[in-house]
Structure formats: C-alpha cells, structure tokens
Amino acid sequence: MLKAVLFDMDGVLVDTEELTFRAAQKMFEEHGIAVTQEDFRPYIGTGENSYVGNVARKYGFPVDIERDKKRMYTLFGMLARGQLNALPGVRNFINLCRGKKLKLAVATSADDIKMKINLRETGLEVSTFDVLVNGQEVVHKKAAP
C-alpha cells in the first residue's frame, strides 16, 4: 500500500534550468568569464558544487565555491522573483495525495537556499511537505547517491 510520495525538485515540481544557468552565467561574467549553456549541461542535477565547480575548472577559474554559490543564489533569487510556477498538474496531484493521507517529501540535489526560493516562488509552502531533503544533507549526489 502506497504511504508516501517523493518529489524531485527540478523537472518535477518546477523548471529552473534556464534561471539557474542565467544566474551562474552572470556570476561568472562578474569574474570576466564568458560561459555557455553547453558548459553546464553535463552537471545539471548534480548539485551546485559540481555545477559551478566543474565549469570553473574548465575555464581555469580558482572558484571559491561558498562565495561563488552564494552570489549565484543571490542572482537566482532576483531572477526567480515572480518568474517561477509549479509545473502543470503539480498542485492537483499534491491535493490528491493529501486527500489520500499520503506523506509528501521533496528530495533535491540543490542547496537549501535554492530549494526554499523555488518553493516560495512557486507558492508551494514548505509546510506542504512532511520532509525536505536538500543537497547539503547528502554526501554523494547524482549520479551515485
């Protein structure tokens, strides 16, 4: 008997791929580095340390992962304001699950701050979910979680 539903964040609840790229692109631009969307493609869904860190390495940029992620999240938060929506059917499915008394969880490779920006901007309250797990709580992210 089904007791719970586990949601991934990106591509399931919301699509932030374009905004995440734009925020990272702007952060790198501030350091004088022109990056492309293709640079990031292999690292989508692997967590922001990998997403930012691997592209920085490609360009020989001495990344300060905490500083640079923090800046990227600030930019992401500004870009996301009023721009994110839950994907079609998400709210109805959540309501259906709640009506069946199912537990709901979110598991994402994104950091806590990005997860909360996504939830806030889509209008999906943190309290909607019984459990939230973000990439900062996991040692091994995709592809070997």
Domain that holds residue 11: 4-15+85-137
pLDDT at 16: 95
Domain count, the chain: 2
In a domain, 108, yes or no: yes
In a domain, 103, yes or no: yes
pLDDT at 135: 84
Which among 80, 101, 121 is the end of a domain? 80
Which among 36, 54, 80 is the end of a domain? 80
What CATH number corresponds to the domain at position 130?
A: 3.40.50.1000
One-letter identity of residue 40: F
10, 39, 68, 111: which one is catalytic? 10
Sequence-distant (≥ 6) Cβ neighbours of residue 4 within 8 angstroms: 102, 103, 104, 105, 130
- From first to last of its 145 residues, what are the pLDDT tens digits of the chain? 999 999 999 999 999 999 999 999 999 999 999 999 999 999 988 888 999 999 999 999 999 999 999 999 999 999 999 999 999 999 999 999 999 999 999 999 889 999 999 999 999 999 999 999 998 888 776 666 6
Q: Is 64 a catalytic residue?
A: no
In a domain, 96, yes or no: yes
Whether the CB-CB separation of 48 and 114 falls below 8 Å is answered with yes
- Same-domain pairing of 75 and 24: yes
